[in-house]
């Protein structure tokens, strides 16, 4: 999505800055494009960690047979998923550190499918299921010893808190099968994130399907459900379109025909998952210039949005790049930095920028994924950014995350931040 400067200025004047703007038309277009790129038998999970705004989850839900299920990793994400109308029975609960309280809450709410990261994780899930008198469906997340793609963010093939090491599966299977309160339903893979191109994405999926078939044959694994992960790409905070995948549907179908010839009849059911692709292009971050300075020959544009607003993940300098790029014509280079009293508060170092003055707004495109809830919201106690949801130029909702500190022992003031 690209907002006109006039519309961005109008929204900034009305709702203040920093301001995130999400366009539901763009969310639904991304959903439809990705569903169209996958075989029609596929199910699609939305990774709520990418953006947990209830309006976006509601738009992604779509209609029966043409929408997304939710993949969550906390009870907070579960509550938003339910508020958006998603059925907990269709939700996949993931993560390596599921606590007793979280599992009790999830199962009581109706969640039945869990991604399993270890034997003890499965035992915790089974104990919670027994406490509630139900059986939990378990997808064994596999950390395979090898992977196909050599580009992008690798999520498998190394020592990790995520997944069961594939080389240990044989010795673990008798114990995994015997965990009370659980039933092994299938496998879960997530080998990479943000694939660089369609060829590497297809190669990874082909490799995953081959590995899944091999593991099932070797260990007599039940396979009613197979989640092969994601890796779908969209630019992060720089101009550009979502990736397109014209070959993906045919290549996936061909690979599945080889390894799982009954997949078209639902044996097994096949799923992919995506976060940033579904919501990334829907968002624009509008920030206002509060100061401009030069230091030893280098220019700095200081904005009211920093890593507390956008860049909790990019600020790590590992998962996502620290290099935003406004969607405007550039005239010079300077660093775009935030207002925080830390040298790490950098949105873009020596990036191309237009001529700016104090009070001007800067619109950063493709900012719909890994925004407020992936940032250092509480750092320095600054207020969270406002979030506006639109369709076209119609404003549908305005909200802001609020933090509140309360005391359980003694008396203390109620502080909202």
Task: Catalogue the active-site residues.
Answer: 341
Q: Which parts of 112-247 fold into alpha helices (H)?
A: 119-131, 169-177, 198-219
Among residues 35, 39, 37, 36, the alpha carbon closest in space to that of 61 is found at: 35
The number of angstroms, rounded, from the C-alpha of 23 to the middle of its chain's C-alpha atoms is 17
Identify the helix (H) or strand (E) that includes residue 61. helix 54-61
Q: Of the candidates 219, 196, 194, 84, which has an alpha carbon nearest to the alpha carbon of residue 140?
A: 219
**φ, ψ (nearest 5 deg) of residue 242:** -60, 155
Phi, psi of 87 (to 5 degrees): -75, 120
- The four Cα atoms 210, 211, 217, 223 give a dihedral, to 10 degrees, of -90
Alpha-carbon distance of 335 to 364, in angstroms, equals: 14
Hey, what are 110's tokens?
Answer: 């109706």
Q: Which residues fall within 8 angstroms of residue 295, CB to CB, at 6 or more apart?
A: none
Rounded to an integer, what distance in angstroms lies between the CA atom of residue 227 and that of residue 256? 13
What CA–CA distance (Å, rounded) separates 110 from 253? 32
- Choose among 158, 233, 156, 159: nearest CA to 187: 156
In terms of Cβ atoms closer than 10 Å to its own Cβ (0-12, 13-18, 19+), residue 360 is: middle
Give SS3 for 362: strand
Of 340, 346, 300, the C-alpha closest to 323 is 346
**Residues in contact with 264: Cβ distance below 8 Å, sequence separation at least 6, in sequence order:** 41
Go through 4-26 and write b for each residue having 16 or more CB atoms within 10 A of its CB, e for each that does not. eeebbbebbeebebbbbbbbbeb
């Amino acid at each position: 999505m690209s907002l006109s400067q006039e519309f961005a200025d109008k929204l900034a004047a009305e709702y203040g800055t920093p301001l995130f703007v999400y366009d539901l038309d763009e969310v639904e277009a991304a959903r439809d494009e990705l569903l169209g790129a996958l075989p029609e038998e596929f199910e699609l999970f939305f990774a709520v960690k990418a953006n947990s705004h209830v309006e976006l989850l509601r738009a992604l839900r779509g209609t029966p047979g043409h929408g997304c299920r939710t993949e969550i990793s906390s009870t907070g994400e579960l509550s938003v998923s339910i508020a958006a109308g998603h059925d907990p029975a269709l939700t996949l609960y993931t993560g390596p550190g599921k606590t007793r309280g979280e599992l009790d809450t999830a199962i009581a709410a109706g969640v039945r499918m869990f991604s399993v990261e270890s034997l003890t994780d499965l035992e915790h899930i089974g104990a919670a299921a027994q406490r509630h008198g139900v059986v939990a469906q378990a997808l064994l997340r596999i950390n395979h010893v090898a992977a196909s793609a050599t580009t992008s963010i690798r999520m498998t093939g190394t020592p990790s808190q995520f997944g069961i090491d594939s080389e240990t599966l044989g010795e673990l299977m008798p114990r995994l099968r015997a965990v009370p309160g659980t039933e092994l339903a299938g496998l879960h893979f997530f080998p990479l994130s943000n694939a660089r191109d369609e060829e590497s994405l297809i190669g990874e999926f082909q490799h995953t399907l081959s590995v899944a078939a091999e593991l099932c044959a070797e260990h007599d694994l039940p396979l009613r459900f197979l989640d092969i992960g994601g890796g779908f790409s969209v630019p992060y905070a720089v101009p550009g379109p979502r990736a397109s995948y014209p070959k993906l549907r045919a290549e996936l179908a061909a690979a599945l025909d080889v390894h799982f010839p009954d997949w078209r009849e639902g044996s097994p059911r096949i799923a992919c998952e995506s976060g940033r692709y579904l919501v990334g292009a829907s968002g624009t971050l509008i920030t206002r210039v509060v100061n401009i300075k030069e230091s030893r020959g280098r220019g700095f544009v200081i904005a009211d949005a920093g890593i507390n607003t956008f860049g909790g993940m990019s600020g790590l300098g590992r998962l996502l790049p620290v290099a935003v790029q406004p969607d405007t014509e550039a005239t010079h280079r300077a660093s775009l930095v935030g207002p925080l009293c830390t040298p790490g508060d950098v949105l873009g170092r020596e990036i191309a920028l237009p001529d700016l003055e104090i009070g001007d707004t800067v619109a950063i495109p493709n900012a719909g994924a890994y925004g407020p809830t992936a940032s250092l919201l509480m750092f320095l106690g600054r207020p969270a950014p406002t979030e506006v949801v639109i369709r076209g130029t119609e404003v549908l909702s305005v909200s802001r995350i609020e933090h509140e500190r309360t005391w359980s022992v003694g008396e203390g003031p109620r502080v909202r931040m």
